[in-house]
Each structure stands twice: as C-alpha cells, then as structure tokens.
Amino acid sequence: MSVAAPAATADAPLIRLRGVTKVYGEGALAFQALRGVDLDIARGEFVAIMGPSGSGKSTAMNLIGCLDRPSAGAYLFQGVHVEALARDERARLRRRFFGFVFQGFNLLARTTAQENVELPLLYRGASAAERHAAAARALDAVGLKGWEHHTPGELSGGQQQRVAIARAIVTEPAVLLADEPTGNLDTQRSVEIMELIARLNRERGITVIMVTHEPDMAAYARRVVRFVDGVVESDRHHAHTAAAAAQEPA
Ligand SMILES: Nc1ncnc2c1ncn2[C@@H]1O[C@H](COP(=O)(O)OP(=O)(O)O)[C@@H](O)[C@H]1O
Ligand SMILES: [Mg+2]
C-alpha cells in the first residue's frame, strides 16, 4: 500500500510517538488523557503497557492502532505521519497493519466462530473461498479446529478470546494490540492466552503491545512501559520472560 511504504523510511522504528497529547472534550470539560508521550517500538517487540486506571493506556493503544488521532505531537508508523492522514487513509492503515484484541472479546453474538474470524477479510475483497480458508487456518492456529461452527454463547471465555485472537491475526497484521486480553479470564485461561500471544510474537514475528494490570501477564513481555497521569513513567527491558521460562527444561 503506497501510504505505508515511502522509500526513505526503511530504518525508522515501526512505531514512534513524539510529544503526543490527547485531549478529550472541550472548554471547561476538556480532559488531557495524554500529556506528551515519547515512545519507540521496534518491529518484533513484545511490550506490556502497565499503569493505574485512567493513566492513558487505552488512549495510547487507540492512537497507535489508528483508531484515533493525537491532539498534538507526532505519530510515525513505519515513518508515515499518521497524525497527518485523512480519516479514510488512517482506516486503511489500521485494517492493513493492526489486529485488535479486547478484554470483552467483542465477538458478534449468534454468529459462528468461522464467520466472526472471516469478517475483517470482507474489507479486503477476498473471495468467499479465500476468506473461508484463511479463517480456518487462523482458528487452527489458536487451537480451535473443530469449533468453527459454534457461536460465542456456546464457547467458554478462553475459547471466545481465542476466536478474537484468530480474528485479529487472520489479516496477518504487523502489530497485535491487546487491551487487557486476560481481564475477564481465570488464571489458567489467562496463562493459556498469554502462551498463545507469546507464541504468535515468537513464531510469526508479530509485534505485540499489550495492556495488563497483572504482573504475571506482563512477565511474558520483554519490555514493560508504565504510564502514570498520561506520560511514560518508566520503560524497562527484561532479559528473561515467563514464556521463555516455560520453554526451558525443568
Ligand atoms: N472518549 C473519552 N471522552 C472523555 N474522556 C475520556 C475518553 N476516553 C478516556 N477518557 C478519560 O481519559 C483518561 C484516560 O483514559 P484511558 O486511556 O481509558 O485510561 P486507562 O486505559 O489507562 O485506564 C481517563 O480519565 C478517562 O476517563
Ligand atoms: Mg484502559
């Protein structure tokens, strides 16, 4: 896609935020959710975003995922100034490069797993046969082979989140944005989802940015960025991750 592939930006980080602010509302009701965020994320990273409720984590995720635009500052994705794009150009970038997973799964009810996962491909002009095959592959990749024709109501929470992850990766995105993906799951199901996300990062090279409140889940990431009051308070790299530990022989 031309908008995302200018020649001069091969060495740019995948994601670069510079002095990014976000103000919601106007006048006396205006609220500054982000107050000048600087953040670089390289291709292939697995980053956990932590911080108190209301610190701007979801706001930052929405900006990074091109769902919204900054009030001021610069957001460069592969060197492209996203803040300067028109709404439809931003939407194209979003559909081409980003997959989203949310705490509440956000699946269509009374719609099968297969159909939920095919949905993002409708925008791509893929044929029905291509959509079907790609969705089946994505469901297989998240361990749901055989569950294609079940609706969300017939699936457990962990299975529903797997469908949501399949829907997020069916377009082969560069970036997976997960906003508290295990927030509605018990510990065992949370660990399974984290193992899955870590595997997608490791084996497919998908850049993962994940908001979580739980240190046990953040431990799967190699880097933890902490937001407080709309700014990045700390940014730490880990040599060892929970996923790596799980792979080592006992
Ligand atoms: N659409 C919105 N309109 C007005 N205020 C908002 C909106 N979205 C978020 N906020 C406010 O911005 C602040 C940051 O929100 P958010 O990014 O959702 O925080 P977090 O995800 O860290 O809990 C909060 O005080 C929240 O109430
Ligand atoms: Mg949030």
Query: What is the total count of domains within the chain?
Result: 1
Instruction: Say which CATH number the domain at 167 has.
Output: 3.40.50.300
Give me the pLDDT at residue 5, please.
46
Residue at 223 is within a domain: yes
Q: What is the mean pLDDT of the chain?
A: 93
Residue at 9 is within a domain: no
Residue at 8 is within a domain: no
Residue at 47 is within a domain: yes
**Who contacts 45 (Cβ-Cβ below 8 Å, separation ≥6)?**
14, 207, 208, 209, 222, 223
For 208, the token pair is: 């993962």
Average pLDDT over residues 64-73: 97
Q: ∠ at Cα 78 (73, 82), nearest 5°? A: 40
Residue at 6 is within a domain: no
Expressed in angstroms and rounded, the spacing between residue 63 Cα and the centre of ligand 1 is 12
Residue at 81 is within a domain: yes
Expressed in angstroms and rounded, the spacing between residue 54 Cα and the centre of ligand 2 is 7
Expressed in angstroms and rounded, the spacing between residue 62 Cα and the centre of ligand 2 is 10
CA-nearest residue for atom 25, ligand 1, is 54
Considering the entire predicted model, what is its pTM?
A: 0.93
Closest-lying ligand to the alpha carbon of 57?
A: 1
Closest-lying ligand to the alpha carbon of 33?
A: 1
Judge residue 10's burial from the number of C-beta atoms within 10 Å of its C-beta, 0-12 exposed, 13-18 middle, 19 or more buried: exposed
Task: State which residues form the domain around 217.
Answer: 15-247
For residue range 165-182, list pLDDT tens digits in order.
Answer: 999 999 999 999 999 999
Closest-lying ligand to the alpha carbon of 51?
A: 1
Average pLDDT over residues 29-51: 97
Task: Please state the atom number of ligand 1 nearest to the C-alpha of residue 22.
Answer: 12
